[in-house]
Amino acid sequence: MSLPPSVTVLGATGSIGVSTLDVLARHPERYRVHALTAHRSRETLLAQCRTHTPALAVLEGEGDAAWLRERLREAGLATEVRCGPEALVEVSEAPEVDVVMAAIVGAAGLLPTLAAVRAGKRVLLANKEALVMSGSLFMEAVERHGATLLPIDSEHNAIYQCLPAEHRGGLSRHGVTQLLLTASGGPFRGWSRQALAGVTPEQACAHPNWSMGRKISVDSATLMNKGLELIEACWLFDAHPSQIQVVVHPQSVIHSMAAYADGSVLAQLGNPDMRTPIAYGLSWPERIDAGVEALDLFRVARLDFEPADESAFPCLRLAREAMEDGGTAPAVLNAANEIAVEAFLDGRLGFAEIGELVSRVREACPFEPANELDGILAADARARREAWAWLGRR
Ligand code: NAD
Ligand code: MG
Q: What is the pLDDT of residues 235-249, one digit of tens each?
A: 999 999 999 999 999
Smallest-distance ligand from the CA of 44: 1
394 — pLDDT class (breaks 50, 70, 90): confident
> Which residues have a beta carbon within 5 Å of ligand 2, which is an ion?
153-155
User: CA separation (Å) from 144 to 10, 121, 139?
Assistant: 23, 12, 9
> Is pLDDT of 207 > 90?
no
pLDDT at 1: 65
User: Which domains, from first to last, does the chain contain?
Assistant: 6-152 (3.40.50.720), 159-393 (1.10.1740.10)
150 — pLDDT class (breaks 50, 70, 90): very high
The rounded Å distance from CA 155 to ligand 2 centre is 5
How distant is the alpha carbon of residue 161 from its chain centre?
18
> Is pLDDT of 215 > 80?
yes
pLDDT at 235: 98
Q: Cβ < 6 Å from ligand 1: which residues?
A: 11-17, 38-39, 41, 60, 103-105, 108, 126-129, 153, 210, 212-213, 215-216, 274
Residues 6+ apart with CB under 8 A from 244: 178, 179, 181, 230, 233, 234
**Three-state SS at 311:** coil
Q: What is the pLDDT of residues 295-340, one digit of tens each?
A: 999 999 999 999 999 999 999 999 999 999 999 999 999 999 999 9
> Is pLDDT of 198 > 80?
yes
The rounded Å distance from CA 188 to ligand 2 centre is 17
pLDDT at 370: 92
Measure the CA–CA gap between 257 and 155, rounded to whole angstroms. Answer: 8
pLDDT at 251: 97
Given a contact cutoff of 8 angstroms between Cβ atoms, the answer to whether 338 and 245 are in contact is: no
Its pTM stands at 0.98
- Radius of gyration over every alpha carbon of the chain, rounded to an integer in angstroms: 20
The rounded Å distance from CA 10 to ligand 1 centre is 9
The rounded Å distance from CA 355 to ligand 2 centre is 19
214 — pLDDT class (breaks 50, 70, 90): very high
- State the average pLDDT over residues 218-238: 98
Nearest CA to ligand 1 atom 31: 105
> Is pLDDT of 148 > 90?
yes
> Is pLDDT of 367 > 70?
yes
DSSP track, 277-324: HHHHHHHTTS----SPPPP-HHHH-----B---TTT-THHHHHHHHHH
- Residue 56, strand partner residues: 35, 80
Of 153, 30, 168, 31, nearest in space to 102 by CA: 153
Q: Mean pLDDT for the chain? A: 97
Nearest CA to ligand 1 atom 9: 11
- State the average pLDDT over residues 211-216: 94
The rounded Å distance from CA 44 to ligand 2 centre is 25
* Cis peptide upstream of residue 285 (ω within 30 degrees of 0): yes
The rounded Å distance from CA 15 to ligand 1 centre is 7
Q: What is the pLDDT of residues 251-285, one digit of tens each?
A: 999 999 999 999 999 999 999 999 999 999 999 99
> Is pLDDT of 293 > 80?
yes
- State the average pLDDT over residues 350-361: 98
Smallest-distance ligand from the CA of 218: 1
- State the average pLDDT over residues 36-65: 98
Nearest CA to ligand 1 atom 40: 212
Closest approach atom of ligand 1 to CA 216: 34
